[in-house]
Structure 1
């Protein structure tokens, strides 16, 4: 193995590079990224950076000197446009062609957009540093923000905006925000946090148009069971999910289906691995394929791929308990496991007055996840261990109530 090429210079890609060096790999490494900035952390974009508590320099994952010490060739500000797995080469937007012995695809995702809003000032998505800085400059006291999509990104931005004195309306097409991700009980609990802080919440509402005057947004037209209404807005954040950045793999022969399809070792094809948000891999711990858009997973997957590249001999499947967290006002929400597609979400503890919640999730006859807010860390760790050890639902609940 003489050259590893990593396409995607965010957390997953950088972690792969660092883990390769720690494991003793001394060959050439090229790290390709479509953004001009050196690798930076994305979760603070919707939290610390947006609120003004942090400035951009604090997001840097590594200093210039630390990147230099990795002896990695950085190709930043240029996107990969094609892959030839037979010739083992990657084509870049600037016309350059890079050969590899092993390739790591870590190209992440991009936000979905509302049709017809291109070029309208005040309509935002939030994925990059520049996205966050542009939105931050407009979140001034007294202004009005409509957030389309009440998932975790949308609700985090809503919480930050309220703290800055902005009037906020959350718009969600589902009857209960976040229900598809965490269940109705947890969704209602989290929605209550926003209502308690003065956020307007419109559920069961579809966006039928974004209104503008002179090229600047003025409002959002909604349709729900009550009819059609217009919510005035100075800014609109579109937070309706993301699309994997996998188009550049077209024609390569690799399997792409809502992400780059990989096996339990994160292998997509001989010499090609997937890491982070773009990778859909088979997780044997849960017996299903999954694509996880969370920072922790990207880093853990990068380390697992690096181990597989340098280890030789016995291989180990990548079978983590996924983890994510979200800051909502003064409440930290944590979740372990695979919550989507659950058969049951059982509320074990709930007290809205002190913002405490504990929910366990069942899929089949197993406990497959836990979500907590305002719960002691040791309690959360205990429930996580039940997920990690594939504990049956009956045994998990018996341990709780006996």
Structure 2
């Protein structure tokens, strides 16, 4: 384990000894009582509980994965959780981020999480950092802990975290979730005295943003994140205590709809050079907020552009904002109805778009968009002679709409513009 720097100040209360003196444990008495059921487990004794008490576990993100993981870690008796998250609690978080309640909406996640964890385990230390890990601070942060759980929801962060874990030699519990499914594995760059398995042995290159579905548009079952977060905590507990076999070299996939799991082995790529340094451009602040490698939306994109899309002259986001603000363009939201409840672009406001044309309502059973859709024609007829700014969650579906209906729009004197980045654009 990495050298621990945490103090024992909150662990001094209630130090009456309950374990036999020969076990040499220093757990608070109330912590011994609270975790006593662990001691009935085969191979899990006072020494293993003490290892949990002494452990420092870093969690990246208090989201759908990080919240259940931290809840389980605190319940199990982990002594110190180091949490990095710069976000605040939003009402749309509550269906999956189970540390938070409606009363926490608007609060910093690090503060709300600390309060929740201390209600579970009063003696726990929660070291909070309300900013993002980046290429300048992440390696040193990892060197101060025994293990990292990646609870992030985008591949920019996941690759940064995995690379930093490989450089620092810090064990990493990697997990990801999308819709009704999740995956989990454990990476360790110093396993068995050799270069161990890392994320780049599973995914040699970081997927492009266009190939990855946005979490908001793809959706996620809250109970699935709870399952994967609990599995991540279990892997951390196994690693810290030495009980059981961690998922080194194994990826487990979970499908909530069938209640089935599958596992497959991975091995180090002998041709891959170990990660030695982070690029200064590596940063968790990247805009990709995706959950998986392949995007179902990616199949919608085509190399050809309709005349009405004018890709070579596409204005930037600021120019599009100005068109809408000055009334020179109307807005078209092509997301599903439930997505419109999640967020709207800042320059539009909570009132939403001028026209809502959900892509699913425009497609036939095979998924092909109907160029002659009456709904599209009626919407265009209401705004003849003006530009249109089209958006979705990430900019992928809206680009497909622009390509498909650009020619139709031109017949009404309308030029369609895709909003890059979607609601974040």
- What is the TM-score normalised by the length of structure 1? 0.30
In terms of fraction of residues, the more helix-rich structure is: 2
* Larger-gyration structure (1/2): 2
- What is the TM-score normalised by the length of structure 2? 0.29
